[in-house]
Amino acid sequence: MKVLIVDDEVIIRTGLSTVIPWAEHGFEVMEPAASAEEALERIPEEQPEIVMTDIRMTGRSGLELAHEVKLKFPDTELIIITGFDDFSYVQQALREGVGDYLLKTSRPGEIVQAADQARSRVLEQRRLKELRAMQQRLVNQGFLRNLLASGTGADEEIAEREFRERYPDLRLTESGERLEVWRITANNQKDPDAECAKGGERLQQASGALTEQIGAMLAGRLQGEWLPWGEGLLLVVRRERDCGDGWCAVETAIRSAEQSLGCPILAACGEPTVSARGLRSAVETAEETAQFHWLLHPKRTLRYDEIRRRKGCRAVCSQEEEHALSLLLRAGNPEELRAWICGQLQRLRLDEQATPGSVRAYLHSLAVAGRRWLERAASSIGHAYTFSGSEEELDLDELARAPEEALFAHLESLMNQHQVMVGGISPVQSAISYIHDHLGQSLSLNQVAGHVHMNPNYFSAMFKRETGQNYIEFVTRAKLQRAMAMLRETTAKISEIANGIGYEDLKYFNRLFKKFTGLTPSEYRERPEKCPSID
C-alpha cells in the first residue's frame, strides 16, 4: 500500500520516510512532497492510498490539503503529523475527514500503528464498496434477465424508465443509435471437415470462469452490460452508428478477447432495437442466429440480417440417398460411412437456403431410413426386430450440437447390429457376452432379449436349447461365479461383493450363495477348496 509523506521541513519528511522500516510492514513509501501544492499535483497520477501531512506548511496548509484530497479522492486515508498539540486543530482535522492525528514526537511504532489502522480502513472501505457494487450488479442483472427473458410486460413506460436509470450507458441519445443483443459462447470447436476425417471431437463449451472473463473484458471495452445465459453470455450494447461491412466496436472487442484468452469466441447478433421493449425479440433473434454457426463455419461473428431470409433446405432424404445409405450399412465399412455422412453435411453447408431446423430434419430422416433398413434386414432372416426407444433413438439435441458425430454414432450402431445378426456370432452367444459385461445390473429376460433384438419368449427357448439352462438359472450362476472369484481374489467386504453383482439385499445374497455352494460367503472365503464347482 502506497504512502505519501508531505512536509515542508526536509529533515522531517526525510526522517519519516527513511527511519521507519516501511517495507517490513507492507508499505511502499513514495518520494516525499515538500508542499501541499506538490502533493496535489502528484496525487492524481501516483494515487497513494495513505497521505501523511504536516498542518502548518509554507503555502497551503495540511488541513487545506486534506480538504482537497477528500473532495477529489474520498477513499484516500489522511493522517496529520504535527508539532502542535491543540484540540482545535484536532477538531478541524476531523471535520476535513482526517483519520488520525499524531504528534511529531510520536515514536516510530505509534506512527506505524496509525498507518496500519489507516490501511485497515482503506481495505474495509474497498470491501464494502465491492460488496455494494456486487449487490447492485446482482439487482441490475436480475432486472435485465427478467427483461430479456419476459419482455417489458404491460408497464412498458415504467420498464423503459427503469432500464435507462439502471444502465445510463445504454441510453440512446442520437438518431441512428440502436441497442444490440449478442449471444456469445467460447469453445474448442475444430474444423468440421477435419472432424470428419479423424473421427470428430465433441464441442466443449467454456467454463463459467471463462464466461466471466469474456464478459468482464467486453464490458470493460464497450458501453454495455452482460449476464450469464445458458452455456455462454448475453451482451447488450449501444451501437453508435452503422458500421456497414466493416468491423464495429463489438467485433473488434471480441477479436481482442480471443487473442487475450487464446480461445475462439462465437458471437451472434440479433435484430437491433431502439427501446427496451424490443430487447426480448433481440434475444430471440440472437439465439436463432447463433444456431447457424455450424452451417456458416468458419465465420465466428454472425448477424441476424445474414440469415433472416433463409427458407430452409429439403427436409427428407431422397430414395436414391436412402438406397445409397442401405448399401453402406450392409457393406459394414465405418470409414466409408463417415465419408458419405461428411459429404452430405458439406452439401448442406453450401445450400444458401439451409437452416438449422431443416438440416436437423434432413439428418433425422437419414437416421429413420437407416432404422427402416435394419428392420427389413432383420425380418428377412427371421429376427423380430423392433425399436423400443432406448439406445437406438437419436438424440435430436445432440444432432443439433454435433451433427457429424451424432449421426455417425447412430448409423454405425445400426451397421454393427446388422453385422451381429448376419455374422458367425449367434444371438445367444451375443447375449451371454452381454450378461457377463453387465452382471452388476438386474438383467431381466426382456432386457437381454431386447439387446439381441429377439422376441423374449423365442429367445428364452433358444437360450435353454443352446445352453442347457433356463435363463434365470444361467444368470444366477454367472453372478455367483463372479462373487466366488471376488471372494478368493479380493479383500472386498461381502456387502460390496453382493452389490457388485446386483444384489442389494445382503441376507438374500447369503441364502442364495449357500443354496448353490453349500457354504456361506464367509465360510467360502476361508475354505474355497471345500466348495464344489457350480459350473
| CATH code: domain of residue 439 | 1.10.10.60
Same domain flag for 232 and 369: no
Beginning with the edge strand found earlier in the chain, give each strand of the sheet holding 77-82 in spatial order: 28-29, 2-6, 50-53, 77-82, 100-103
| Structural domain boundaries, residue 55 | 2-125
Does 137 fall in a domain? no
- The span from the CA of 66 to the CA of 78, in Å, is 7
3-state helix, strand, coil in the chain (%, to 5): 60, 10, 30
* CB-CB contact of 289 with 303 (8 Å): yes
Same domain flag for 272 and 300: yes
* CB-CB contact of 60 with 35 (8 Å): yes
* CB-CB contact of 369 with 344 (8 Å): no
pTM: 0.59
Q: Report DSSP state, residue 190.
A: P
Does 360 fall in a domain? yes
Domain boundary among 423, 443, 459: 423
Does 130 fall in a domain? no
Domain boundary among 423, 447, 463: 423
Does 285 fall in a domain? yes
Residue 284 in grid coordinates: 430471440
Same domain flag for 29 and 53: yes
Same domain flag for 59 and 198: no
3-class secondary-structure state, position 193: helix
Does 140 fall in a domain? no
Which residues of the chain fall short of a pLDDT of 50?
189-206, 245-246, 388-391
Same domain flag for 404 and 433: no
Q: For residue 419, give every residue at least 6 positions away whose Cβ sits within 8 Å of its Cβ, in sequence order, or none.
A: 332
The kind and range of the H/E element at 219 are helix 208-221
Same domain flag for 477 and 435: yes
* CB-CB contact of 439 with 407 (8 Å): no
CA quadruple 85, 91, 92, 95: dihedral positive or negative? Answer: positive
The 10s digit of each residue's pLDDT in 161-187 is 899 889 888 888 777 788 999 999 986
The 10s digit of each residue's pLDDT in 102-119 is 888 889 999 999 999 999
Same domain flag for 441 and 479: yes
Same domain flag for 367 and 224: no
Cα dist. 51→43, 77, 83, 93, 104 in Å? 9, 6, 17, 13, 15
Angle at 218 between CA 213 and CA 219, to 5 degrees: 100
**CATH code, domain with 31:** 3.40.50.2300
Same domain flag for 188 and 209: yes
Domain boundary among 125, 159, 190: 125
As for how many domains the chain has, the answer is 4
Does 145 fall in a domain? no
pLDDT at 212: 85
Does 133 fall in a domain? no
Same domain flag for 438 and 401: no
Same domain flag for 325 and 301: no
- The span from the CA of 50 to the CA of 30, in Å, is 10
Same domain flag for 160 and 295: yes
Residue type, 436: H
Q: Report DSSP state, residue 269.
A: E
* CB-CB contact of 288 with 220 (8 Å): no
